[in-house]
A and B are shown apart, each in its own frame.
Chain A
């Protein structure tokens, strides 16, 4: 018992000592301001990203790209005189780790907001925590419909196209161009897969066969075998990039030929090619959709801007759609900060995002309002041809309910001269 006592006493000492330290550092960091993470010269935002683990392929490049864009903005004086610091935490795409790192960001680092936290299963687990602490939860890097619940989670906003919206758009294409084919589905065994399947089945009716996978088990042999057995001719995937590659590779291995139609989040060609290595030609003919400029489209002024930022502030990382995505997130966040004005508060930025009206790099509409917290509202189809992923056809928009899939014709805007959104 005495030993237990001494152990407890030791803990007390250690805890008291560390609390002293952390008090000092946080006191110095926030400078006595009333808004967490905001001082006269700085804004601290944080994110959780899979830098390692089963979903790291491709996705690990997103946050550094966002950070690079912030450094580009900071070099030009920041937003309203404040420089943006971006703290990136690795959660390994493990919902349990996300819990820890987000608590650390909010409680210890006292971030102003969580920006672009990645993943459906991971981010779903921290919604309640962020709401309790009134932390703005901006532009979640996932297309789950959970982000669009303004009544329940007033501070949460999506970035990606809803997986249901995407499912409807992809399924419409399948219905038109591949009529009468046997369509099957494989998706992640969580809201990502379920939302996607819901959209597909709204257009096509029940699919012929459906399979699911979990990221903790990197083997899709049984699933691909079952789809082959079922005689599937079109396979629609709601997969992260690693599992897109795995599916393509496994299908080829067992001699299963089908038209693969893949969700935008799992379809970045450079990520898939890198993983397939010598088998990269397997991605030929892959159909997907996107809403941001293609990384290979050098004529696009946004790509020119992003390449410049990438060269200057991102160590000239291998330029792909993940980088385009990361920088577009950064651009939208800077737009939101500008809209929120000089007196930056947590309520202020939420109000500014709800006011909406953001124009940016995408070919699809952003429809933020007090009633709508979902991300982009449409997509244009892409196809891999001759080892290059490119857009075809026109952009479509729709909703996550029973609305029709309709062409969206608004012209994409060009970036401002200096690459930084102006104060509105």
Chain B
């Protein structure tokens, strides 16, 4: 794990603080321009998928910081996403029809609520290691459907809630495609997340994260507050998951426990491992895979002519199998994930 991170650490030390910040900002602006351009080229369904990648990216970026840089495994990020999503659903219902600003309020509130939830889980998590930590976060993921059906008057059980989302602002034109607007919304969130995280992990906070991950005793001797760092890492990661969940609610215009199953949490972990644990580039790859692989398997089952019964069985299981195969292949070929394939030429 640490081998993949070495180049990033070096790059961080060499560059002066201010130059680094302007550089992050420049990348973000360039990426934003690229995304906007893409949304004009792509057909609606691809735009919707692009928007989904943006929403996933918020979560995978936060998770890779927690798991890759701080060494805490979370199997409960799906539940944190649900927290953000339900917050948006409940608030949007109250604020419906008052204008575009309500969405910003709801999303910020979703991040705040999830941050608090993440803080609570993080406090417990900081006391646990390895399988115990995985167990705790797993429990958090599993409890979502039970909560929604126990408090069904608020969360409406398996049916879930619909999310009121305003149409694109009229200033953009009457025929402005809804999916393009969705892509803009989610990528605003995703790029802001990337900018904040990139700045955070290159600084003192990032060094503390890595120090705690590599050797807690050594970190403590060097003056790093281990427990505080771990809780903070969880809180930052939870805030990102909350934002991601909120954006998912906006995308689907509905929330239900079925959207945040345990398998989602597992897929998230798999995605960041395949993408490259601990690197934000890996998080981008992970987010892309989360959207592309199921779509790919779907078109594969569509194109091969098998009996309906077989196709039915493939439908549910093939994405899982493909994810597994990808994981095995990537781990054999590039143990650092897809993102680690590139930087070799920089070593010169």
Question: A-side interface residues toward B, CB under 8 Å?
Answer: 1-8, 11-12, 14-16, 18-19, 22-23, 26, 51-52, 60, 64, 90, 92, 94-97, 99, 103-104, 107-108, 120-121, 124-125, 128-129, 132, 189-191, 212, 214-217
| Contact pick for B48, options A64, A107, A120, CB 8 Å | A107
Contacts of A216 in B (CB 8 A): 145, 158, 257-258
Inter-subunit contact A51/B315 (CB<8 Å):
yes
Q: A1-B27, A15-B46, A125-B159 are in contact. List 16 more A-B contacts (CB 8 A).
A: A1-B23, A5-B27, A7-B288, A8-B284, A11-B288, A23-B43, A90-B312, A95-B254, A97-B258, A107-B45, A128-B253, A129-B253, A189-B157, A214-B145, A216-B145, A216-B257
Q: Which of B179, B194, B259 contacts A4, CB < 8 Å? A: B194
| Contact in complex: A3, B179 (CB < 8 Å) | no
Residues of A within 8 A of B179 (CB): 107
Query: B residues within 8 Å of A by Cβ?
Result: 11, 23-24, 27, 30-31, 34, 38, 41-46, 48, 50, 53, 145, 149, 152, 156-160, 162, 167, 178-179, 194, 198, 252-254, 256-260, 279-281, 284-285, 288, 292, 308, 312-313, 315-316, 339, 342-343, 346
Q: When the two chains form their complex, are residues A6 and B281 in contact, meaning their CB atoms are under 8 A apart?
A: yes
The answer to whether B149 touches A124, judged by C-beta atoms less than 8 angstroms apart, is no
CB <8 Å contact, A52 and B312: yes
Contact B45 A4 (CB under 8 A): no
Instruction: Give the contacting residue for B158; candidates A64, A103, A214; CB below 8 A.
Output: A214
Cβ-neighbour of B256 out of A51, A90, A96 (below 8 A): A96
| Docked pose: A19 CA to B346 CA in angstroms | 32
Which residues in B have their C-beta under 8 angstroms from that of A12?
A: 34, 38
> Closest residue of chain A to B313, judged by CB?
A52
Contacts of A217 in B (CB 8 A): 145, 149
Q: Which residues of A contact B23 (CB under 8 A)?
A: 1
Name, among A11, A22, A92, the residue most crowded by chain B CB atoms within 10 Å (CB to CB): A11
Question: Could you jot down 21 A-B contacts, CB within 8 Å?
Answer: A3-B279, A4-B194, A12-B38, A15-B41, A15-B46, A18-B46, A26-B43, A51-B315, A52-B316, A94-B259, A95-B159, A95-B160, A95-B259, A96-B259, A107-B44, A108-B43, A108-B45, A121-B159, A124-B159, A132-B167, A189-B158
A121 x B312 contact (CB < 8 A): no
Q: Are A16 and B158 in contact (CB under 8 A)?
A: no
B260 to chain A: which residues have CB within 8 Å?
96
- Give the residue name and chain of the A residue nearest to B164 (CB): A128
**Docked pose: A3 CA to B285 CA in angstroms:** 10
Contacts of A3 in B (CB 8 A): 279, 281, 339, 342-343
Measured CA separation A386–B338 after assembly (Å)? 64
For the complex, what is the distance from the CA of A128 to the CA of B252, rounded to whole Å?
10
Q: How many angstroms from the CA of A18 to the CA of B31 in the assembled complex?
A: 20
Contact across chains for B343 and A95 when beta carbons are under 8 A apart: no
Contact A4 B158 (CB under 8 A): no
| Shortest beta-carbon distance from A166 to chain B in Å | 19
Assembly CA distance A129 to B178 (angstroms):
10
For residue B149, which residues in chain A have a CB less than 8 angstroms away from its CB? 189, 214, 217
Q: Is the interface of B mostly helix, strand, loop or mixed?
A: helix
Q: Roughly how many angstroms separate A60 CA and B309 CA in the complex, as a whole number?
A: 11
Total inter-chain residue pairs, C-beta < 8 Å: 142
Across the interface, which residues of B come within 8 angstroms of A129, CB to CB?
A: 253
Contact B159 A190 (CB under 8 A): yes
Minimum C-beta distance from B310 to chain A (A): 12
Q: Which residues of A contact B252 (CB under 8 A)?
A: 96, 99, 125
Q: Give bound CA distance, A12 to B157, whole Å.
A: 39
Complex contact B50–A15 (CB within 8 A): yes
In the bound assembly, the distance between CA atoms of A215 and B148 in angstroms comes to 13
Which residue of chain B has its CB nearest to the CB of A5?
B27
User: Does B284 lie within 8 Å of A11, measured CB to CB?
Assistant: yes
Would you call A52 and B315 a contact (CB within 8 A)? yes
8 smallest CB-CB distances across A and B, nearest first, come from A96-B259, A3-B281, A121-B159, A190-B159, A107-B45, A108-B45, A94-B258, A189-B157
**Chain A contacts for B43, CB-based, 8 A:** 19, 22-23, 26, 107-108
- Please state if A190 and B157 are interface contacts (CB–CB under 8 Å): yes
A190 touches B156 (CB 8 A): yes
Cα-based distance from A212 to B149 in the complex (angstroms)? 9
Q: Report how far A212 CA is from B148 CA in the complex, Å.
A: 13
A275 to B308, CA, bound (A): 21
Contact indicator A95/B258 (Cβ below 8 Å): yes
**Do B160 and A121 touch across chains, with their CB atoms under 8 A apart?**
yes
Q: Which residues of A contact B279 (CB under 8 A)?
A: 3
> Complex formed: what's the CA distance from A52 to B253 in Å?
24
Q: Is A6 a contact of B342 with CB atoms below 8 Å?
A: yes
A7 touching B160, Cβ below 8 Å: no
Q: How far is the CA of A52 from the CA of B310 in the complex (A)?
A: 12
Chain A positions within 8 Å of B42 at CB level? 15, 19
With both beta carbons as reference points, the residue of chain A lying nearest to B158 in the complex is identified as A214
Give the CA-CA distance A212 to B151 in the complex, in Å. Answer: 13
Specify which chain B residues have a CB less than 8 angstroms from the CB of A11 in the assembled complex: 53, 284, 288
Q: Report the separation of the CA atoms of residues A104 and B308 in the bound assembly, to the nearest whole angstrom.
A: 19
Report A-chain residues with C-beta under 8 Å of the C-beta of B50.
15
Closest to B198 in A: A1
Q: Which residues from chain B contact A103 at a C-beta distance below 8 Å?
A: 45, 48
Residue numbers in B under 8 Å from A64 (CB-CB): 308
CA distance A96 to B284 in the complex (A): 23
CA distance A212 to B292 in the complex (A): 38
A15, A52, A128, A191 interface centre (most CB from chain B within 10 Å)? A15
Chain B residues near A191 (CB-CB < 8 A): 159
Contact between A22 and B45 (Cβ–Cβ < 8 Å)?
A: yes
Interface residue from B152, B162, B313 paired with A125 (Cβ < 8 Å): B162
Task: Report the separation of the CA atoms of residues A295 and B284 in the bound assembly, to the nearest whole angstrom.
Answer: 54
A90 and B259 within 8 A (CB): no
Residues on A with C-beta less than 8 A from B285 are 7
